[in-house]
């Protein structure tokens, strides 16, 4: 790894969680080939929590569909301070951006990147740099994350996550803005939908910089070019 933006990341400890042995092997090979010196592997969320307890990690790369404890449940435990890892631990989800049943919950849990399978080395570099750069961004309160649906069977029934609304009073003034104009603390006046019609973000959702960054990653899969937001002034 020679890029000046990534060379300092080589010593970071990366935890890769996937129940597929082939995916663990190929992801480990991709990271090692890029110069990452400390890559730890786990088969599911339960093993991942044990690694975080005993060894710690600087970055988490996790699959979502896993037995025993899925990736969303793992991230929720971290974000609600029920693990030994810091709440702000950078998390990259390894999934398909068309997997809309889980995308809304991943976004609501303030993940720091979406990495499509199969893992490509150049994509890994970009996602790692991005995720680590977001580690200093403020998180929401713990109560918010506790309300995010992480059970995969429930998500399929609901066709998207239940996302908590911000308690601030709503405004009756609405503006239509492009993705480039979105700002943290803007409240959505209308839900954001996947191109297949499923809900990614519910109305009344208050944006963070993490959320906006994920919308940039998903822009080709978002139904509308413009977003309706409430004027807070």
CATH number at residue 46: 3.40.50.2300
Task: For residues 122 and 197, state if they share a domain.
Answer: no
- Number of domains within the chain: 2
pLDDT of residue 9 exceeding 50: yes
DSSP designation for 72: H
- For residue 9, which phi and psi values (nearest 5 degrees)? -90, -10
Percentage of residues in the chain with pLDDT exceeding 90? 62
Task: For residues 23 and 120, state if they share a domain.
Answer: yes
Question: What is the mean predicted confidence (pLDDT) over 40-61?
Answer: 96
Q: Which residues contact 4 (CB under 8 A, 6 or more apart)?
A: none
Residue 11 lies in a domain: yes
Question: What is the mean predicted confidence (pLDDT) over 82-110?
Answer: 87
pLDDT of residue 88 exceeding 90: yes
Could you read off the pLDDT of 60-77 as tens digits, one per residue?
999 999 999 999 999 999
Distance (Å, whole) CA 30 – CA 24 = 10
Tell me the pLDDT band of 2, cut-offs 50, 70 and 90. very low
DSSP designation for 116: P
By residue range, what is the domain housing residue 24? 7-133
- Give the per-residue pLDDT at 170: 53
Under 8 Å between Cβ of 67 and 152: no
- Give the per-residue pLDDT at 125: 83
Percentage of residues in the chain with pLDDT exceeding 70? 85
Task: For residues 210 and 121, state if they share a domain.
Answer: no
Task: For residues 88 and 172, state if they share a domain.
Answer: no
Task: For residues 125 and 171, state if they share a domain.
Answer: no
The tokens describing 192, both together, are 């954001």
Torsion from C-alpha of 136, 150, 70, 135, nearest 10 degrees: 0
Residue 150 lies in a domain: no
Residue 176 lies in a domain: yes
- Give the per-residue pLDDT at 182: 96
pLDDT of residue 153 exceeding 50: yes
The residue among 109, 133, 157 that closes a domain is: 133
The residue among 90, 116, 133 that closes a domain is: 133
pTM, rounded to two decimals: 0.88
Residue 2 lies in a domain: no
pLDDT of residue 1 exceeding 60: no
Q: Which residues contact 101 (CB under 8 A, 6 or more apart)?
A: 152, 155, 156, 159, 160, 198
pLDDT of residue 197 exceeding 70: yes
Task: For residues 123 and 194, state if they share a domain.
Answer: no
Task: For residues 120 and 192, state if they share a domain.
Answer: no
pLDDT of residue 161 exceeding 50: no
Question: What is the mean predicted confidence (pLDDT) over 21-39?
Answer: 90
Residue 12 lies in a domain: yes
């Amino acid at each position: 790894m020679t890029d000046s933006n990534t060379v300092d990341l080589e010593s970071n400890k990366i935890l890769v969680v996937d129940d597929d042995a082939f995916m663990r092997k190929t992801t480990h090979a991709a990271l090692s080939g890029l110069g990452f010196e400390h890559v730890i592997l786990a088969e599911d969320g339960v093993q991942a929590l044990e690694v975080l307890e005993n060894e710690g990690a600087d970055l988490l790369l996790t699959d979502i569909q896993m037995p025993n404890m899925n990736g969303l449940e793992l991230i929720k435990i971290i974000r609600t301070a029920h693990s030994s890892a810091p709440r702000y631990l950078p998390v990259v989800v390894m999934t398909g951006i068309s997997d809309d049943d889980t995308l809304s919950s991943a976004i609501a849990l303030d993940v720091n990147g979406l990495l499509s399978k199969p893992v490509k080395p150049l994509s890994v570099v970009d996602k790692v740099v991005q995720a680590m750069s977001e580690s200093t961004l403020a998180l929401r309160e713990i109560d918010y994350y506790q309300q995010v649906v992480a059970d995969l069977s429930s998500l399929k029934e609901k066709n998207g996550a239940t996302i908590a609304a911000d308690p601030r009073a709503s405004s009756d003034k609405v503006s239509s803005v492009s993705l480039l104009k979105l700002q943290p603390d803007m409240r959505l006046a209308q839900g954001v939908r996947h191109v297949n019609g499923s809900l990614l973000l519910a109305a009344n959702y208050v944006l963070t910089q993490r959320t906006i960054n994920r919308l940039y990653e998903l822009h080709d899969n978002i139904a509308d070019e413009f977003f309706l937001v409430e004027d807070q002034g």
